Amino acid sequence: MDDEQERLLPIANVGRIMKQTLPPSAKISKEAKERMQECATEFISFVTGEASDKCHKENRKTVNGDDVCWALSSLGFDDYAEAIGRYLCKYREFDRERANQNKGRTNGDNDEASSYKGDSSIPLEYRVLEKGGSSLTKPS
């Protein structure tokens, strides 16, 4: 596998996602899957690069969900930023509930859910850039 192929999203995953949005009888050409694979990979790299630059300027080494939301918004993808922000809030709520349930366990099970060490105590905040300036907001 060459370097170009290694950086791309797995084509099987891309094809599976494409099929989910099409009627069952629809066929997708190999070329269409490859183009979508390239576009999706480029989009993710573009957004991640912006989030990474923000972290670098703030002397942080870890990109988090808030950084991705900020990057989407700063790049003009406000609708995506809002949707991802809502998803991130719900994920953090779920994660907190799961952590609280796992605290109640006394048998010492160490399954995947209880071994997750994500920091879900940080409230979701991200900068929404508007035409006239910027403001710090929390999604509802």
* Alpha-carbon gap, residue 95 to 72, rounded angstroms: 23
Render pLDDT for 26-54 as a digit per residue (tens, 0 to 9).
Answer: 999 999 999 999 999 999 999 999 999 99
Q: Is residue 11 scored above 80 in pLDDT?
A: yes
Please give the domain boundaries of the chain with CATH numbers for all domains. 1-62 (1.10.20.10), 64-140 (no CATH)
Q: What pTM does this model have?
A: 0.65
CA-closest candidate to residue 118, choices 88, 139, 140, 74: 88
Report the C-alpha gap between 95 and 39 in whole angstroms.
31
d(CA 47, CA 86): 18
Tell me the pLDDT band of 109, cut-offs 50, 70 and 90. Answer: low
What pLDDT does residue 113 have? 42
Q: What share of the chain is helix, strand, coil (3-state, %, to 5)?
A: 60, 5, 35
For the stretch 67-79, pLDDT in tens is 999 999 999 999 9
Helix or strand or coil: residue 89? helix
